[in-house]
Structure 1
Amino acid sequence: MNNLALLTIGGTMLCCVLGVIGIHAYSSGAAQRAALVERLSQTGQIALPGRRRRRFRSIDRRVRRTQLGKKLELRIASTGLDLTPGEFVVYMLVTVAALWMIGQAMLASFFGPLCGLLGIYVAMAFLNWQRQKRIEKFINQLPELSRILANATQAGLALRMALSMAADELEAPAGDELKKVADQLAVGRSIDEALGELAKRLPSRELVVLVTTLVLSNRAGGTVVGSLRNLTETLEERKETRREVRTQLSQVSMTAYSVPVIGVGSLLLIDNMQPGALDKMTGSSIGQVAVVVAFALYAVGFVIIRRFSKIDV
């Protein structure tokens, strides 16, 4: 009887142990599957329920293999747009084709390739504009980020926990970018690497100063509260200075964009006043060279005026 009771108890305990092991294996497998699905969904290889289905997957895979595709992927990631490199390339080609046909229809056949090149510039300028806008938003959030990190560090939290807490409290884009940093730290990456990638995605002097302060404090093991307090005040002052400079130079920036618009508008006005004038002008090699030189001078003027209006604060 005693042997039967012992066998029953032993069998029950063995079943319990095997059940716990099975539950642990199932939960860890489910977590790994969820992480894999999340990673594949970010690259566009699969689509999660409730998320936008990725288009042009085969083109996206080919684009990602190239060196330009890798740079394009990093640039798109810095803009925060929900786009893959393949989707961006397809949309850019469609824009180039549309502008090409519009240029031929409204101006002359010679202006079709020029308008197509303009489409490539517009697409890349759109990415740069989105990236710069995101960087500006992030810079405006840096004083609050520095204040949160200082308070968390003063409360005794480690830098990793302070970054995770800041990711939860701040809005986009700072919250999203810090979430990426926290995820990288969670999988074993060092603070230097995670913050270094953040500085590459959103390059700015203010962020470089903050990253350098955090990295040096983490390496040296010294107190970071005082440095972050001083940095918060400095970032607030720089924020106000940047706003004043941008307001003062807004008229110069508008002049830079109005110069090429006036040039293109004058061509449309000439063709409207005298139909067929652009076809006659671009029908000879001298006229084609003159048009190319004129567009090049407009581009040079645009770049020079933009240089004058660009002041590093």
Structure 2
Amino acid sequence: MDPVVLRVLALIVIFASVFLVSERVIATLRQRQRGSRAINKRLKMIEGGLDREIVTSRLRKSAPGSFSDMSGIIGTIGRSIERAVVASGVPFPPHQIMLGMAIASTTVAGLILLSAGIAGFAIGLGVIQLSIALGLCFGGAIPMMILSHLASKRRKRMQEQFPVALDIFVRGLRSGHPIASALDLLTKEMEDPLGTEFGLVVDEVSYGADMRDALQNMADRWGIDDIQMFVVSLSVQNETGGNLAEILANLSAVIRDRHTMYMKVRALSSEGRMTALILTALPIMTFSGLFLINPSFYIDVAQDPIFPIGFIGLIVLYIIGFISIRRLIDLKV
């Protein structure tokens, strides 16, 4: 047989073999992924042999509270960071994240000052301002952008899951389950993040906490209006009585209608939100990226006597623009 034909046949056989093996590997991975999605993180930890008390303590490690009693700008910023850390699902408590950001910012600023001094630049007020700003960008702003992105994805997933969870809860009540048993049903049927959050509620109730307090803690951790309405409905029904299943069924319908309206508003405001995202993130990313490419350019400019005043004015204008844009796109539905 012609050697060319043999070579072509060999290549076809190799290609077919690699293709079939790849398809099999991908199918196996997808099947495992589907199986892993069938249970939530809390059930995985319990299935692994951990005690429920240890599981609860590990999952509650990122629970907020350090800034809950503080007022003013520091308290507001601290609570927003805590909420972003909790919603993002990172396995570290908020105070460790904030401490790490502070250490990273200080380290970056110190390295910039040290490098500028070694390179022979004069360490003046402008260079100090520049190093502090870059330290905050690399150690604070960019990690916060990543955390905010992760938090928004999980919060969106939480909002999508909640009406489904209400339907399961209502069916459990109508089939004769008490409230605690219906909540426990959600911990076994719902995926993350909602399944784990209701699992924390069930564990807190099992260890002696009041159910309304445990549910309120979950609502405070996430700051979602739908969960808050659910907690209020349970509290009102517990005090005044009534058909809880019917109340929650109506609440589920209201939440779905509200979500439909919310998606329409998001579609209409998508251009403004994308503009806000670009105008907010682009200056920080450009500033940081250009410094990494050519640090001497910024340090040379920082030697100018007018730089400290202009730089402060630039930061003030950026903050004013950030607040203005946030108010323009903060649409309540």
Q: Same fold (TM over 0.5)?
A: yes
1:172-194 C-alpha deviation (Å, 9 max, x unpaired)? 11101000011111122221111
* Match 1:185 to one of 187, 205, 214: 205
Distance in 1 (alpha carbons) for counterparts of 2:276 and 2:111: 24
Instruction: Tell me which residue corresponds to 1:137.
Output: 157
Deviation at 1:195, TM superposition (A): 0.9
Residue 151 (structure 1) aligned with residue 158 (structure 2)? no
Task: Kindly state the Cα deviation for residue 136 of structure 1 after the two structures are TM-superposed.
Answer: 2.2
Correspondence 1:20-99 to 2 at 5 A: 34=51, 37-38=54-55, 76-85=85-94, 87-89=96-98, 91-93=100-102, 95-96=104-105, 99=108
> How far is 1:253 from its partner?
2.1
Q: Deviations over 1:84-127 (max 9, x none)?
A: 44642454245425654787779x84521111123323334544
Residues 195 and 211 in structure 1, CA contact (< 8 A), matched pair in contact too = yes
Q: Give the aligned residue type for 2:261.
A: T
- Structure number with the bigger relative contact order (C-alpha 8 A, sep ≥ 6) is 2
State the 1:227 CA deviation: 0.9
> Larger deviation: 174-183 or 230-239?
230-239
Structure 2 unmatched ranges of 5 or more: 1-49, 117-125
User: CA separation of 1:255/1:219 partners in 2, compared to 1, >3 Å: closer, same or farther?
Assistant: same
| Matches of 1:173 and 1:195, distance apart in 2 | 15
- Partner of 2:332: helix, strand, or coil? coil
Write the letter of the residue equivalent to 2:85.
I
8 Å Cα contact 2:173-2:245 kept in structure 1:
yes
User: 1:237-289, CA deviations, whole angstroms, 9 ceiling, x for partnerless residues?
Assistant: 1122222222222221222233356656489889x99x966445422332221
Larger Rg: 1
Q: 1:34 & 1:206 partners in 2: Cα distance?
A: 31
Whole-Å Cα distance in 2 between the matches of residues 82 and 195 of structure 1?
22
Q: Which residue among 104, 109, 113 is the counterpart of 2:132?
A: 113
Contact 1:75 1:201 in 2 (8 A): no
Q: Is the 8 A contact 1:257 1:302 kept in 2?
A: no
Aligned length, in residue pairs: 260
Corresponding residue of 1:200: 220
**Alpha carbons of structure 1 residues 300 and 237: separation in structure 2 relative to 1, 3 Å:** same
Contact (CA 8 Å) 1:256, 1:301: kept in 2 or not? no
CA distance in 2, matches of 1:123, 1:262: 15
One-letter amino acid of the structure 1 residue matched with residue 97 of structure 2: F
Instruction: Output the amino acid matched with 1:96.
Output: S
Note the aligned Cα RMSD (angstroms). 3.8
Report the equivalent of 2:312: 292
Distance 1:282 1:133 in 2: 39
TM alignment of 1:223-302, pairs within 5 A: 223-259=243-279, 263=283, 265=286, 278-302=298-322
TM-score by length of 1: 0.68
1:103 to 1:297, Cα distance in 2 relative to 1, 3 A: farther
* 8 Å Cα contact 1:191/1:215 also seen in 2: no
User: How high is the TM-score relative to the length of structure 2?
Assistant: 0.65
1:221, distance to aligned residue in structure 2 (A): 3.5
1:231 Cα deviation after fit: 1.1
> Given that residues 253 and 309 in structure 1 are in contact (C-alpha distance below 8 angstroms), is that contact kept between their aligned partners in structure 2?
yes
| In structure 2, distance between residues paired with 1:228 and 1:42 | 27
Give the 3 Å change call, closer, same or farther, for CA 83–164 of structure 1 in structure 2.
same
Deviations 1:5-37 (A, max 9, x none): xxxxxxxxxxxxxxxxxxxxxxxxxxxx94565
Question: How much identity, in percent, do the aligned residues show?
Answer: 21
Code of the residue aligned with 1:216 in structure 2: it is V
**What's the offset of the Cα at 1:166?**
1.2
Q: Which segment is superposed worse, 201-210 or 76-85?
A: 76-85
Q: Which residue identity is paired with 1:252? A: G
Shift of 1:128: 4.1
Given that 1:75 and 1:127 are in contact with CA atoms closer than 8 Å, whether structure 2 keeps it comes out as yes
Task: Give the one of 190, 193, 206 matched to 1:173.
Answer: 193
Which residue identity lines up with residue 247 of structure 2 in the other structure?
Answer: S
Please report how far the alpha carbon of residue 41 of structure 1 lies from its aligned counterpart in structure 2 after TM superposition: 5.3
Deviation at 1:76, TM superposition (A): 3.4
Distance in structure 2 (CA, Å) of the matches to 1:243 and 1:190:
35
